Structure 1
């Protein structure tokens, strides 16, 4: 077959994917950016207004809260969530008794749809019939004083966070895969030199996990920038704006204001924030690698 014929077949097989990509991603992406500069709703066609939507957003106190909450969740997810996955991988790498069962059990919550997780925690922590009321009854406490953890602005943020932060099974699998690629000879040499298992983890395992840490932190950050279903189904961004983040802020603009131009402007900011976080994280880990090489 000639080179021209091969290129023709490659184009023929690639064309459906390119068309699908344009219809599902490229064209909507361009429309979101374009209409973010317009006054646009379901009842009227887009009318160009420049930076008006962005000015309105940045002047809104709720938007500032949503950005702060989003960045808080990014930080928590990038440290605690990834950290739990790494600790579990360290424990399971030594294959203690029952390690296969523990590995499967720790991954199962990540398979459950996040919407189902939100419903489960909403029922478990319900002050009228949830597990908290049962605990109060067991200890003979006044059940009328049961805290509504999702409905209390003091506790809502950390309660919502607790519904997902410990479920880092995917991170654990990434770390275990990276650990499995380390040659056993390195650990054997360290043991011969008198290193303890803890020292081997500190000076061998952790430094070689740079790529895995970078991957997990990027995935965790992007997930938090776009997190919506758990937050909406447990608190709807409340009480007040205690758990308001960018996706729930965007949703409220669409449903309450019917302002698609303003909502798309929030979407543009959300995309930009995700890109900035990914670039910063990649640079951070690259800088660490350069310092090690020096």
Structure 2
């Protein structure tokens, strides 16, 4: 069988996409790297300071804590969204009565504005009129009542619950599409051989669904790394700095503190964090696929 060769003229069709990629990604990224090496407040002239912004960034305890926080957030988000996504996708598989309705209901939050979702949860978390605290009081669990977004012990978890809940519907749909592509014959054969439901899940579902699970993991982690809107709208990084993630830290330094060089250094770090994770994860996942 001969190899497929592209004619030189075919490359011309790639030029519009490459031009857009260069204009909207390559050029801004190079510019951000350049600014990260400067001391600049957008008013005075830029002053080249080399890697001083990066050195200061890694010495900043608030920034270091925000990195640890976003890694923790990414881990929680991946585990919860993939686990619940698989569970609900399995329940919604097939053409059972009502499945179409529930698929739409689970996906609905994903298409709603994150600003609207944050307003809704801010009201739900309210100490006096919030649904959560009033339910706890109604069942006699007054000791569980908190100012969810105003206490350092609860603000982080209350904040990350929002994007996890809103994004869950997308992962249900993605995983459901993968599950529907797995033939029932595999499960019937496994059942004849005496396999339990868990064994069928581990030996059939996970391996055949693994490429789609990989995509979900990358999407979930990258979403966690660049999360800004939920944190900023719900807590603004507070109380104190207990919910700051690198993206909100970057915003505060660049646009509130007018330190665009420092903020650009944080932006470069956020990009590299996601880029390195994707390369490492794809390498590990690729070796796993080869071994299997």
**TM-score normalised according to structure 1 size:** 0.88
Q: Which moved more, 1:200-209 or 1:245-254?
A: 200-209
How far, CA to CA, are the matches of 2:223 and 2:149 in structure 1? 21
How far, CA to CA, are the matches of 1:184 and 1:139 in structure 2? 44
Match of 2:4 in 1: none
The question of whether the paired residues in 1 share the 8 Å contact of 2:94 and 2:180 is answered with no
Gaps in structure 1 of 5+ consecutive residues: none
Deviation at 1:72, TM superposition (A): 0.5
Match of 1:25 in 2: 25
- Structure 1 pair 199/235, CA: closer, same or farther in 2 (3 Å)? same
Deviation at 1:242, TM superposition (A): 1.2
Match of 1:160 in 2: 159
Match of 1:187 in 2: 187
Residues 53-95 of structure 1 deviation map (CA, whole Å, 9 limit, x = unaligned): 0111111110111101110111111211111111111221255
Deviation at 1:129, TM superposition (A): 2.3
Pair 1:283-2:286 in alignment: no
How far, CA to CA, are the matches of 2:286 and 2:152 in structure 1? 39
Deviation at 1:196, TM superposition (A): 4.3
How far, CA to CA, are the matches of 2:80 and 2:138 in structure 1? 32
Deviation at 1:15, TM superposition (A): 4.5
Q: Which moved more, 1:278-287 or 1:102-111?
A: 278-287
How far, CA to CA, are the matches of 1:105 and 1:174 in structure 2? 15
Where 2:45 maps in the other structure, the secondary structure is: strand
Match of 1:64 in 2: 64
How far, CA to CA, are the matches of 1:55 and 1:282 in structure 2? 29
Where 2:266 maps in the other structure, the secondary structure is: helix
Gaps in structure 2 of 5+ consecutive residues: 1-6
Alpha-carbon RMSD: 2.5
Q: Which moved more, 1:191-200 or 1:248-257?
A: 191-200
- Structure 1 pair 195/142, CA: closer, same or farther in 2 (3 Å)? closer
The question of whether the paired residues in 2 share the 8 Å contact of 1:150 and 1:159 is answered with yes
Where 2:39 maps in the other structure, the secondary structure is: strand
How far, CA to CA, are the matches of 1:140 and 1:65 in structure 2? 36
Where 1:85 maps in the other structure, the secondary structure is: helix
Where 1:242 maps in the other structure, the secondary structure is: coil
How far, CA to CA, are the matches of 1:89 and 1:254 in structure 2? 42
Residues 220-256 of structure 1 deviation map (CA, whole Å, 9 limit, x = unaligned): 0100010010110000111111111010000110233
Deviation at 1:189, TM superposition (A): 2.1
The question of whether the paired residues in 2 share the 8 Å contact of 1:217 and 1:281 is answered with no
How far, CA to CA, are the matches of 2:175 and 2:51 in structure 1? 44
- Structure 1 pair 57/181, CA: closer, same or farther in 2 (3 Å)? same
Residues 87-130 of structure 1 deviation map (CA, whole Å, 9 limit, x = unaligned): 11122125544222111111111111212111110012112322
Matches within 5 A, 1:10-159: 11=12, 14-135=14-135, 138=138, 147-159=146-158
The question of whether the paired residues in 1 share the 8 Å contact of 2:37 and 2:48 is answered with yes
- Give the aligned length: 285
The question of whether the paired residues in 2 share the 8 Å contact of 1:84 and 1:166 is answered with no
- Structure 1 pair 154/278, CA: closer, same or farther in 2 (3 Å)? same
Pair 1:204-2:204 in alignment: yes
